[in-house]
Amino acid sequence: MTPRLTRKKKREYLSRCSIKMTSPAYRVVTIGAVEIRESAYDYLSGKMIDIGCGTKAKSILVGDFVDEHIGLDHDECPHDKSLVDLIGTCYDIPAQDQTFDSLLCNAVMEHIEDPAVALQEMYRVLKPGGYGVFTVPMFWHLHEEPRDFLRYTRFGLEYLFTNAGFSIVNIKPMSGFWTTFLTEFSYYIVMKCGRSIFRYPAKLMVAQNNFLAWLLDRGKLRDERFSWMHKAIVQRPKANGN
């Protein structure tokens, strides 16, 4: 069992998410998949709740490490809900206190009007000692409007998680400038070209941007000042405070 995202799993995940090299989201979705996979190995186990699970595509990334993958999403979710296990909101999770061993919340916090209340509810359903893995955007265009409310810096995340009672294990940037810039540039190109005669050259430019983002923005070049998203690992403290 390895945390590494194999080519097979990567292809399967991107296919499930309907993402190709010519998609503006290709690079960021790939980075997210790697980060979730690695965090699953270290922090996700037992009965895990996936907040805002959508199509539960992340089962491909975490299924090796958890015993149960319980997906939560709301009734007006724009995605296919056929695989959703719990219909509810992050303000009112239909589960008893301390039900889950771990928690995953991927690119959901920006869609929550009152994150402080939502985090208290997530804290409630997580067992003492359990870990939460969050990915939270700092730079991103409007999406899933009108349910698009907030963006977060590392300092804002530290404040919210600490006030909700969580201990912070780590918060780190998931990219640097080039991934953020080139991805948003790709979205802009696709938006402007639409279905015009330029749509095919636009796809080639998007693929080029994804390659350049990979080439220019790897590993140590990640920079929290320009990262499109941060990954946060938090823990509900154990009952004895350790």
pLDDT tens, position by position, 88-146: 999 999 999 999 999 999 999 999 999 999 999 999 999 999 999 999 999 999 999 99
User: What pLDDT is attached to residue 44?
Assistant: 98
Q: How many CA atoms lie within 13 A of 131 on its CB side?
A: 17
What number is the average pLDDT over the span 73-85?
77
User: What pLDDT is attached to residue 197?
Assistant: 84
Closest to 235 in 3D by CA, of 172, 170, 166, 171: 166
CATH number of the domain bearing residue 38: 3.40.50.150
Query: Which tokens sit at 15?
Result: 């296919």
**Residue 1 maps to a domain:** no
What number is the average pLDDT over the span 9-26?
95
Q: How many CA atoms lie within 13 A of 235 on its CB side?
A: 17
Tokens 């190709």 belong to residue = 20
Residue 165 domain boundaries: 7-174+220-235
Question: How many domains are there within the chain?
Answer: 1
Burial category of 78 from C-beta neighbours within 10 Å (exposed 0-12, middle 13-18, buried 19 and up): exposed
Please, are residues 98 and 126 in contact by the beta-carbon 8 Å criterion?
Answer: yes
**Residue 182 maps to a domain:** no
pLDDT tens, position by position, 163-220: 999 999 999 999 999 999 999 999 999 999 877 888 889 999 999 999 999 999 876 6
**Residue 132 maps to a domain:** yes
Whether pLDDT at 221 is above 90: no
**Residue 206 maps to a domain:** no
129's CB contacts (< 8 A; 6+ apart) are 235, 236, 237, 238, 239
User: What pLDDT is attached to residue 195?
Assistant: 78
Per-chain mean pLDDT for the chain: 93
User: What pLDDT is attached to residue 102?
Assistant: 98
User: What pLDDT is attached to residue 199?
Assistant: 86
* Interatomic CA distance for residues 171 and 157, integer angstroms: 8
Whether pLDDT at 78 is above 80: no
Q: What is the DSSP letter of 29?
A: H
How do strand 126-137 and strand 100-106 relate by DSSP bridges?
parallel
User: What pLDDT is attached to residue 2?
Assistant: 61
**Residue 47 maps to a domain:** yes
Measured N-to-C along each axis, helices 26-43 and 177-193 cross at an angle, to the nearest 10 degrees, of 130
**Residue 207 maps to a domain:** no
Angle at the Cα of 194 (from 188 to 200), degrees rounded to 5? 95
**Residue 193 maps to a domain:** no
**Residue 227 maps to a domain:** yes
